[in-house]
Structure 1
Amino acid sequence: MPRHRLSTLVACTTAFATTLLGSATDARAATVEHHSGTLSDGATWIADKPARWNGTLLLFSHGFGPTIAADAPSAAAQQALLDAGYALAGSSYDPHGSMWALDSAERDQFATLATFRGQVGSPSRVISVGQSMGGLVNAQIARDGAGRVNGSLGLCGLVAGGVDLDNYQLDAEYSLATFLDPADADKLVDLASQAEATALAERLSNAVETAQQTLAGRARIALAAAYLNLADWAPGQQPPARDDFTGQERQQYTWLAQGLLGFLVPARWSVEQSAGGNTSWNTGVDYAGLLRKSAHAKQVTALYRGAGLNLGTDLNRLTRGADITADRAALAHLERTSSAGQGVAVPMLDIHTIADQLVPVEQESAFAGRVRGAGDSARLRLAYVARQSHCNFTTAEVVAGLHAVEHRLDTGHWGDAATAGQLQDSATELNLGGAAFTEYRPSGMTGTR
């Protein structure tokens, strides 16, 4: 292993500190070198290297939120990975723009990797890891990183990309506004500020709360939930039966009542801020055809029938009123910076919870289809965890996924390493919080154009 070096690179300053992780009574406690610095665009980076480094560097891409450097998906995962001998690194992305930092994220991650090599050590293997929006960054790295990274582990990744995300969220918001909050039906895009977006989200949320009190309102909430690809299994509850359409809507409403729109609508403003304009559209969309593609179509049909509403009338109204157009330059910007799935150049395992309210598991279907179209299916494996909520993984599930990627790199083939059964066995043996890997196949994603 190369000796540790301290040096200064152009436009990058580094501070070095050594800390002790763990308690004196923990036999695994080890000295860890902590490094940090600033890249040429102002992004910060951090890295942690254990004294007994196994030679593998995990390059971590963080999710949507403040542009603060992170090098692991959670504190518990960070501790477990350092204890196991992995070095960790990650950047903040450029802090001078939107939290939708896709303009700089991939570039800053590769710059962090180069800086780690120059100032910390030369890894024998690099595996990229990313979660949520960082899962999209991670997919881009897996696509573009041949020769720089060896493999990739995605967690709850927004792998369908920004254009699809904006469009299916627009479809849901448009449906809610049309039937429950008509005054806002023409105020869903080109948001002027985060405050305006937050106020819009509050009005839509209040309208949903009121609508939940009636059969007709619940049917229309279910329609919007179908367009949103919204999971029908909420926290603290048992999964509803396949034909329990009322129970499915009740759990979808639970997600909405917990403030889901209060996250999604301001996030749209961040995307528009990054791209320089509206990036979504519904002109020409056939909302009846869109519903037919949804896994929730039977639920919506049943609830409309029970409420005495004419579903065809509502769908025709949506289709006739669909007149939102995207700003061409903004859309081109989003397509250029915020897409993935054209292919993967290195082996990649993507893991998703099956009831993810923020990044629907159906994104994996869209991603896998694009990878298949590029001829790279042999490099990609998908795995699923039977749990609710976004990025809700145990440390054992994260580490087991990493070991599966390492198996692929060590042997040249996946074998059964990425199957639900083997991942479950591997995670259970780690004794790091249990696991719930399951056989699962997500439905197709609603809202692609």
Structure 2
Amino acid sequence: MPVRVRATAALVAAVFCLAAPGTARADAAAEAQHLTGTLADGATWIADTPAPGHWNGTLLLFSHGFGPTVAQNAPSDAARGALLAEGYALAGSSYDPNGPQWALASAERDQFATLDAVTAKIGEPRRTLSVGQSMGGLVNAQIARDGAGRVDGALGLCGLVAGGTDLDNYQLDAEYTIARLLLPGEELKLVGFDSPSEAAAAGARLTAAVTAAQSTPGGRARIALAAAYLNVPAWAPGKDRPAADDWQGQEEQQYAWLAQGLLSFIEGGRYAMEQSVGGNNSWNRGVDYADLLSGSPHAPRVRALYRAAGLDLRADLDDLTEGAAVTADRDAVRAAARTSSAGQGLAVPLLDIHTTADNLVPVEQENRFADRVRASGDGALLRRAYVERQGHCTFTTAETVAAVHAVERRVATGHWGSLAQPAALQRAALALGLDGAAYVPYHADELTVGREPARATALPSRD
């Protein structure tokens, strides 16, 4: 495995800017090293290390999110600089670059191989912490499950911890609702895409339907129904949070998320997922859409908007239930269970942090995951904390670094205590003097999805 070592100007600047001129920390920044290498499957890895004598002994193994399979070792440049300045070493891989961007078939394997390659170059760390963001948060949860003896603790950032099949199922519910109610009589392919362009066309058509429907009360009510199934937050970027009973204002902010290309992103992700697991791993045949809505925290808004529009909500729900005909490829469901699920247990302490209004990975995923971890008997190892902010993975550097510190202290002390409490995390983040923090007490609702992936093999299948 070829390895290169170099000191980079960008890395020097990132670390230097956090230290006072003339300090030992600034001197160390000038000697910080950047390493690269290649794994057996063609995945690349990178590592950044403090100067000799300035490593604090902890290695952070970072799992990146959905997108190009390019090696990353931190959630942001600012976070990398802050963590290096504190003496952490950072490493991460690209995952297999020869497969789809939903790279769960190789990600965990490549992360462990990266750990081996990096420690062979820099020496064994005193402790190793796994960190993962978005799709990488799912990889991180798998590493926390499987990494006994390899990692000591884990931090998830806005992780897609409910897994790939739950994701595709609740997204299908929303897409199907839009297609059935806003494009009546039109046969729109929602699963089993043959190409990225086919997926993109479906996303564009769904977005156009939502845009047109927003102009009428009935259209807005149906958009709210689809948004409820999609678990879309009713608080959008750049806007004040609507009042608890401002149903119209809440729908307008859900629409803002949808109008920004969310549906097109979802369809592109579905294509990548289907390529990864070998077929369609989602289904809605047998789903009772009235029952599904009844369990959603968004149901009061939907009912109020339907009443205001003079529409018959029950008729729409019955229509959705009667028309639901999408079946899953059983082999694809099994493949997703193997590669793209988590919560079957934990081997090390895990702290998950999440923004409260996440448009891409709804905060409700945390409850779905926690239920599974508790069922495995490992609930005592898991803690969750929340940041009051709109958007996906929009954490400040201070929030991220404070969470790393909390996990490291949990590993060192052997107990959580108050480390992961919002007040403690908020104090710790603000004490860093970086870019602010917004940890808050928060209780996430249950994820609106209505079926368990494990039961898919008992359902009618298209194969």
TM-score (norm 2): 0.93
Contact 1:164 1:448 in 2 (8 A): no
How do residues 97-136 of structure 1 correspond to structure 2 at under 5 angstroms? 97-136=99-138
CA distance in 1, matches of 2:351, 2:160: 14
Which of these residues, 171, 174, 177, is aligned with residue 172 of structure 1?
Answer: 174
- Structure 2 CA distance for aligned equivalents of residues 215 and 284 of structure 1: 30
Task: Give how far 1:360 is off.
Answer: 0.1
Counterpart in the other structure of 1:17? 6
Conserved 8 A contact 2:63-2:132: yes
**Aligned residue among 351, 358, 361 for 2:360:** 358
Q: Is 1:423–2:430 an aligned residue pair?
A: no
Q: Does the 8 Å contact 1:41/1:94 carry over to 2? A: yes
Q: In the alignment, which residue of structure 2 is the partner of 1:36? A: 36
Shift of 1:185: 4.7
- Report the more deviating stretch, 363-372 or 183-192: 183-192
Distance in 2 (alpha carbons) for counterparts of 1:348 and 1:300:
36
1:38-88 Cα offsets, whole Å, 9 max, x none, are 000010000111011000000000000000000000000000000000000
Q: Deviations over 1:2-55 (max 9, x none)?
A: xxxxxxxxxx21112123512597454312111101000010000111011000
CA distance in 1: counterparts of 2:220 and 2:188, whole angstroms:
23
**Code of the aligned partner of 1:416:** S
Matched, 1:63 2:68: no
Whichever residue aligns with residue 367 of structure 2, its letter is S
CA drift at 1:448: 3.8
Distance in 2 between the 1:167 and 1:186 partners?
Answer: 17
Aligned residues: percent identity? 63
Structure 1: runs of 5+ lacking an equivalent: 1-11
Secondary structure, aligned partner of 1:126: strand
Q: CA deviation at 1:217?
A: 0.1
- 1:189 aligns with 191
Letter in structure 2 aligned against 1:359: V
Give the alignment of 1:138-177 within 5 angstroms. Answer: 138-177=140-179
* Alpha-carbon separation, structure 2, partners of 1:376 and 1:185: 45
Residue 126 of structure 2 corresponds to residue 137 of structure 1: no
Whether the 8 Å contact between 1:174 and 1:185 is mirrored in structure 2 is: no
**1:242 offset after TM fit, Å?**
1.2
Where 1:182 maps in the other structure, the secondary structure is coil
Equivalent in 203, 206, 223 of residue 205 of structure 2: 203
Q: In 2, distance between residues paired with 1:65 and 1:381? A: 27
Q: Distance in 1 between matches of 2:186 and 2:419?
A: 49
The residue number in structure 1 matching 2:267 is 265
Equivalence for 1:86: 88
**Equivalent in the alignment of 1:227:** 229
Q: Is the 8 A contact 2:65 2:134 kept in 1?
A: yes
1:373 paired residue among 367, 375, 382: 375
What SS does the aligned partner of 1:258 have?
helix
Q: Which amino acid aligns with 2:7?
A: T
Counterpart selection for 1:410 from 401, 409, 412: 412
2:276 match: 274
- Deviation of 1:184 after TM superposition, in Å, equals 5.1
Within 2, Cα distance between the matches of 1:351 and 1:415?
17
Which residue does the alignment assign to 1:9? none
Deviations 1:267-321 (A, max 9, x none): 1011011111111000100000000110000110010010000000000000000
Indicate the SS of the match to 1:232.
coil
Q: Structure 2 counterpart of 1:122, which letter?
A: E
Say whether the 8 Å CA contact 1:142–1:345 is kept in structure 2: yes
Q: CA RMSD in A?
A: 1.1
TM-score, scaled relative to structure 1: 0.96
Tell me the amino acid that sits aligned with residue 2 of structure 2. T
User: Is the Cα contact below 8 Å between 2:188 and 2:202 reproduced in 1?
Assistant: no
Map of 2:47 onto structure 1: 47
Cα 1:227–1:185 shift into 2, 3 Å = farther
Greater Cα offset, 304-313 or 405-414: 405-414
Letter in 1 for 2:267: V
Q: How many residues align?
A: 438
Q: Out of 179-188 and 85-94, give the one that drifted further.
A: 179-188
